[in-house]
Chain A
Amino acid sequence: MTALNNFLFIAFPYIAIGIFLVGSVWRYRTNGFKVSALSSQFLEGKAGFWGIVPFHIGILVLFLGHLFVFLFPETVINVNANPVRLVTHEGIAFTFGISVLVGLIFLMTRRLTHPRILAVTTKMDIVIELLLLSQILLGCWVALGYRWGSSWFASDLSPYLWSIFKLNPDITAVAALPVAIKLHIVGAFTILLLIPFTRLIHFLVAPFHYLFRPYQVVMWNWDKNAIREPRTAWQIFRPRNN
């Protein structure tokens, strides 16, 4: 059991993080063309709205929520000290969990029943959707069955995750957790590991830089003035579009 715990909560996270980091950079650098959200809206139309939007908004909120508890456990514990705030906070999180669940089921049904969407579906799409489905089901189950998740995440899991990043893993708390939570943790690292090999990579290229650039983009392939200047002959800047 200890060996299994050591593997699942020490070795596996490091493998997952390593593959995620190296794999993402490798995929972006060597095969930039394949980094895409691979939107299938074009083949379907307006109906997808009811799956795509609840899923994305929900998963975004949940991701940021988990990240926040991981980064600022004390704040969360303080907030949760008041029962009203605790229940409100957990209620909101659970609502978004349901939103992901509903959206994901909608999207999976659509993917498997819509002939055109099925035509652009890959094996990895199915794998990642099943993983996400099990992850969200486990998450909802944990939220309902092992209250109050945000509090023990802050007190038990956050230190464990920190210990991973501090390269001094301590799994005593994790090893004692119920199976459902353990599965949720392993599932999370599995998804992380698979990011470079699936369409999930599109979340790494979310276009925030759009906010900070002027609307129009003009690219000069080469600086014609500089090129005629003999002194700069060997310092021509490389075109940005290559």
Chain B
Amino acid sequence: MDIRSQISMVFHLDKCIGCHTCSIACKNIWTDRKGAEYMWWNNVETKPGTGYPQKWENQDIYKGGWVKDGDDIELKGAGKRKGLMNIFHNPHMPVIDDYYEPFTYKYLDLIESPASDDQPTARPISLITGKPIDIKMGPNWDDDLSGTPDYARQDPNLANLSPAEQEAMFQLERMAFFYLPRICNHCLNPGCVASCPSGALYKRGEDGIVLLNQDVCRSWRMCVTACPYKKTYYNWHAGKSEKCILCYPRMEAGYAPACMHSCVGRIRYMGVILYDADKIHDVASADQGKLVDQHLDILMDPFDPEVIKSAKKNGVADSTIRAAQYSPTYKFVKEWGMALPLHAEFRTLPMLFYVPPMLPVMASLKDANNSAQAQKLNKVAKYWEDDWLYDTSTEELWGSIDEARFPLQYMANLFSAGDTEKVKDRLKKLMAIRIHRRHVTVGDISAEKAGKALSDVGFTPEMAEQIYYLTSLAKFSDRFVIPAAHREQAIEMMENTGDRKGSAGFGFKEGTAGRGL
């Protein structure tokens, strides 16, 4: 057992409203620079949709992540052989057009144009060439299913769905979508780190944040290919790659990362998870069917004395172990089993977990005779002779999950490597909490029925209340349990403090000034 600590995240998709505040917070702090304009370390995608960069999930195109090779795994599109063979020209790398060409507008033309018969316009210009361009793509142009034939219907996750199921998803009255906020997953088996020929990428031992040392990066570009989530970006101006740093300067100071701090829907949770580093390779090379289970098994119980002992042996601070015991992510992922990793089949062991969304409200369309209803309307009222009912009732305990407007298979392709049972289990849990709370607050559901819903998914009413609390009422310090970075020691991440002994004190790095004359 080799216990290490990892900062992990849970995004509760049921609460995401798709406001992009997280993306803006991140952009303002980190990527508002030349060469990085097109980068969104944090982005929010509408699903179904092709995402950013387009079709990033389709590894037939981008060859990201790992593939099973006998009992072992190998990088799909990079690695020692494939990477060095393709080092001059990387055939699987996304190019700027797969994201979008960054642009701005010539706003000054609006003010400074000489008087004329026509209104002045602000033409779009490329931020790369500075010349006028016709904008073909922009950030989130597929938001809320806009441009659906171009975007949503090209979604790689529709792969295992029958044509009829796909068609059903895009009927106007059945149309549904949800948001998928994405940041770097800070994986346990990161493809980017493994693919970097220069060794510029590394995982921090203390908290598992995956970072990129730009002084070592030589623009071999393999990380862009190897990250199946396309969360390493190539800065075309600097000639260096960049990625989400999980706002580690904020984290070390005890703040939540900017994207999480600013989250309006409060969907984001962050906490420590203790994991067994000895198992990483075995888990990453597990059979597809066992992948998700084993992925969750690698996360260890922070109350287990053996785990604590091994963690201490590795120098994990007591405060970090304590944070792991209070970790909201451990609760969501392990204790309650409500969250799943995104695309576990890429085998990078992502440490960002998602509570799958029930949204839109778990409803089904039922055949109904609406004529009686129509009779009640005024003669001049406009009504549609529809014979269906948008049914959100919870009469049948679990029936509506199977008939949900979102096919389970689609969710399973995203969150459980294709296993619908796992997604169904998570959705049932979400539903059980709702039934329980409806029993408590509205009271139109009997105690017996609410109790049955909970016991079906293995919850007690106390657990349900805890989940409800952490989902709906949680305060900042409940959502973000960030272990102390030990600032008194954190300085030693940067330099040997012994060297500074006898220097000029607080805030200065220079030695004491000379006496002068």
Contacts and interface: CB of A to CB of B under 8 A. Distances in A.
Contacts of B489: 222, 224, 227
A216 B197 contact: no
B95 A210 contact: no
Contacts of B198: 205, 207, 210
B496 interface: yes
A32 B190 CA distance: 25
Contact of A42 (B83, B91, B236): B236
A209 interface: yes
B18 to A, nearest CB: 29
Contacts of B33: none
Interface string B9-40: 00000000000000000000000000000000
B239 interface: yes
Contact of A217 (B84, B193, B218, B238): B193
B131 A115 contact: yes
How many interface residues does chain B have, given as a range? 35 or more
A42 B218 contact: no
B216 A32 contact: yes
Contact of A49 (B91, B197, B213): B91
Interface stretch (A14-22, A134-142, A234-242): A234-242
B108 interface: no
A128 to B, nearest CB: 15
A119 B130 contact: yes
Interface string A194-224: 0000000010010101110101111111111
A227 B492 contact: yes
A40 B317 CA distance: 44
Given A116-B96, A120-B236, A216-B193, A37 B128 contact: no
B93 A41 contact: yes
Interface in B188-218: 189-190, 193-194, 196-199, 201-206, 211, 213-218
A53 B492 contact: no
Given A216-B189, A221-B204, A210 B80 contact: yes
A205 B218 contact: yes
A36 B218 contact: yes
Given A205-B218, A215-B193, A223 B315 contact: yes
A222 B491 CA distance: 10
B498 A41 contact: no
Contact of B214 (A33, A45, A119, A209): A33
B199 A236 contact: no
A43 B95 contact: yes
A39 interface: yes
Interface in A155-189: none
A19 to B, nearest CB: 22
A64 B90 CA distance: 23
Nearest to B191: A215
Contact of A218 (B93, B205, B214): B205
Interface in A39-56: 39-46, 48-49, 52-53, 56
A118 B172 CA distance: 46
Nearest to B84: A210
Given A36-B218, A56-B88, A234-B498, 20 more contacts: A36-B217, A36-B219, A36-B238, A37-B219, A37-B239, A39-B221, A41-B93, A46-B95, A49-B91, A115-B129, A119-B129, A120-B128, A217-B193, A219-B203, A224-B316, A224-B317, A225-B314, A227-B489, A228-B315, A236-B496
30 contacts: A32-B215, A35-B218, A37-B239, A42-B221, A43-B128, A48-B89, A52-B88, A52-B89, A53-B88, A56-B88, A120-B128, A205-B218, A207-B84, A207-B197, A216-B189, A216-B280, A217-B193, A217-B196, A217-B199, A217-B202, A218-B202, A219-B202, A219-B205, A221-B205, A227-B489, A228-B315, A233-B498, A234-B498, A242-B493, A242-B495
Interface of B: 75, 79-80, 83-84, 87-91, 93, 95-97, 126, 128-131, 189-190, 193-194, 196-199, 201-206, 211, 213-221, 224, 234, 236-240, 280, 314-317, 489, 492-496, 498
Instruction: List 7 tightest A-B contacts by C-beta distance, closest first.
Output: A224-B315, A207-B197, A220-B205, A215-B194, A221-B493, A38-B239, A210-B197
